[in-house]
């Protein structure tokens, strides 16, 4: 149960970092303060659900597209989050393409490095408590 909660936390933090990076880098990408949390949750859920589904469909019908699964799921998650939350506004086709790439890149990097940060803290905590009990 703890692992699941840590994975969810990592995915939400990664989504937040990706969306914030896109908002900072791209002038046509806007996040509202009121809808920020809802946008993160919707984006993370949609991407988390769609990524395995799109990967399975691509593996079955179009193996050449397997490398683009992350980009496709990021684009669809951005589209759904912008349609249903009101906290995300993306204007211009160039911004849609760049936002997809920026959010995908940042979330990919974050989901790679964040577990190391969490694991490092947990290992330090276990070592600290083990040293005290000895």
Q: Count Cβ atoms below 10 Å from residue 133 Cβ, excluding itself.
A: 5
**pLDDT per residue of the chain (134 residues) written in tens, 0 to 9:** 777 888 888 889 999 999 999 999 999 999 988 888 999 999 898 888 888 888 888 788 777 777 788 898 899 999 999 998 888 999 999 999 999 999 999 999 998 998 888 777 777 777 777 655 54
* 73, 54 Cβ separation under 8 angstroms: yes
pLDDT in tens, 14-43: 999 999 999 999 999 999 888 889 999 998
Beta bridge partners of 89: 30
Burial class (CB in 10 A: 0-12, 13-18, 19+), 111: middle
């Amino acid at each position: 149960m703890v692992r699941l909660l840590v994975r969810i936390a990592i995915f939400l933090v990664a989504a937040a970092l990706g969306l914030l990076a896109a908002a900072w880098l791209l002038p046509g990408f806007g996040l509202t303060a009121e809808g920020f949390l809802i946008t993160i949750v919707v984006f993370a859920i949609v991407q988390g659900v769609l990524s395995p589904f799109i990967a399975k469909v691509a593996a079955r019908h179009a193996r050449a597209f397997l490398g683009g699964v992350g980009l496709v799921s990021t684009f669809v998650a951005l589209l759904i989050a912008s349609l249903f939350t009101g906290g995300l506004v993306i204007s211009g086709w160039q911004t849609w393409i760049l936002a997809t790439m920026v959010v995908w890149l940042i979330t990919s990097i974050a989901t790679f490095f964040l577990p190391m940060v969490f694991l490092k803290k947990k290992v330090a905590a276990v070592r600290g408590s083990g040293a005290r009990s000895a």
